[in-house]
Amino acid sequence: MVELVSMPSSFCWTRFDRTEDDAGRGEADKRLEGWARWQRSSGIHTDYPPASAIERVMKPSDIEEQAGARHVSSMPSDAEAEEIDRILAQIRIHPRQFRYWKLAQIEYCTYGSQEVKAKMAGLPRMYYRHRLQHLQLLVAHALETAKHDGR
């Protein structure tokens, strides 16, 4: 079981915190994107759109992968995706953090601009971005805790 680390209620970002957490948030974002690709391609959950035929056949070229193109990122391993799935499951059952699970569904499992996704979440875009950053920090902290615990 992955232990979810919550942010203290007095948590407030400073410009130094943002600089230090950028790497963690970036890794969490990458892992969440991989999780969403894994969900869509595996067909485990019926509420996610399945991978299109073209998406299944299209393999990224080495040059595209080296360039870091998001649309051609490789599929994560089952273990990596399942780790994110467990973290999100912990977020989902926590009453005060359920909104972050819903946000993960909107951001990573649906298509559209950030404005459209913010409307789907019922939030102004600025608040949507703030909550998305918080979600990424929650996932980054849970990944870091799992790494230190040797899971």
Q: Does this model's pTM top 0.85?
A: no
In a domain, 5, yes or no: no
Report pLDDT for 94: 85
Report pLDDT for 111: 86
Give CA–CA dist 110/120, Å, rounded. 10
Closest alpha carbon to 1 in 89, 97, 79: 89
Domain that holds residue 20: 15-148
Closest alpha carbon to 32 in 76, 1, 68: 76
In a domain, 49, yes or no: yes
Which residue in this structure is represented by tokens 């992955």?
A: 2
Number of domains present in the structure of the chain: 1
Radius of gyration of the chain, Cα coordinates, nearest whole angstrom: 16
Report pLDDT for 135: 94
48-92, pLDDT tens digit by residue? Answer: 444 454 554 555 555 555 455 555 557 778 888 889 999 999 989
Report pLDDT for 9: 45
113-128, pLDDT tens digit by residue? Answer: 999 999 999 999 999 9
Chain centroid to CA 22: how far?
A: 14
In a domain, 25, yes or no: yes
